[in-house]
Structure 1
Amino acid sequence: MSTPQRITLTNSGDVTVVTFNDSKIIDDQSIQELGQELAALVEGDDRDKIVLNFAAVEFLSSAALGKLISFEKKSRSKKVKLILTNIRPEIYEVFAITKLTKLFTIKDDEADALAIL
């Protein structure tokens, strides 16, 4: 995989932790690049546990939510365990309203996510 521009990858044991580099994920090009970088995580390497850390994210567009849903489906099809963490309350509210809290496993922080993986 080429070096991602929209995300930073770190490993915690056998878990890949993905941190978003952009505070606002709203423009089409950024969203397309983000979608490609996320997809590459489950297509290539043998990753079976991924934590998406939203600590830096202040705003997500509906198109970005669509990419996250696509990533969740791809992850599930590849048997990858996926957990979202550090979601700001205003973004979490959007997840709750759109019922995405039922689709995604969401934990308050990265330590909580790592503890259950």
Structure 2
Amino acid sequence: MAVSQPRISVQYVDDATVVAFTDEKILEETDVRALRTSIEAVIEQASRIHLVLDFRHVRFLSSAVLGLLIRISKRIYEQGGELRLCNIHPGIYEVFKITRLTSVFEIHEDVDSAIHSFPERQQQ
């Protein structure tokens, strides 16, 4: 039986990279590992990334995903990039509030507001 892996779609909008999760549930450890690999591949493509993670389709996620988000965030900030989350289901947002991750992550209602929250990139 084939293992179902979280699917993502990647879009480039202005100066931002938008990664949308297409699965409704991200619960299994194998799914979290596959997700980590997919997102890390996106991060490696840019030295300074403005990354938006779009949770529009996600209704359920495991606590391992929260740990993954923290690791991804740390890596992005170490590389001089920025991370935004958006379209988080109310039930999942409640978990972010309870765990105080709302103070760790910048969360927006939609992709457009997340993209527009990034400061202008300075010319190198």
The normalised TM-score by structure 1 is 0.90
Question: 1 or 2, which has the higher helix percentage?
Answer: 1
Q: How many pairs were matched up?
A: 114
Does the residue aligned with 1:55 lie in a helix, a strand or coil? coil
Fraction of identical pairs, as percent: 40
Structure 1 residue 41, shift from structure 2 partner: 2.1
Structure 1 gap ranges (5+): none
- Residue 65 of structure 2 is matched in structure 1 by 64
Aligned residue number for residue 36 of structure 2 = 35
Q: Tell me by how many angstroms 1:87 deviates.
A: 0.3
Query: 1:82 is aligned with what amino acid?
Result: L
* 1:46 Cα deviation from its structure 2 partner: 3.7
Unaligned runs of 5+ in 2: 119-124
Q: Distance in 2 between matches of 1:103 and 1:38?
A: 19
Partner residue, 1:24? 25
| Partner Cα separation in structure 2 for residue 12 and residue 18 of structure 1 | 11
Q: Secondary structure at the match of 1:34?
A: helix
Coordinate RMSD, CA, aligned: 1.5
* SS of 2:113 mapped into structure 1: helix
Residue 5 of structure 1: CA displacement?
A: 6.0
Distance 1:42 1:79, change over 3 A: same
- Equivalence map 1:1-117=2 (5 Å): 6-117=7-118
Larger radius of gyration: 2
CA separation in 1, counterparts of 2:39 and 2:80?
15
TM-score by length of 2: 0.85
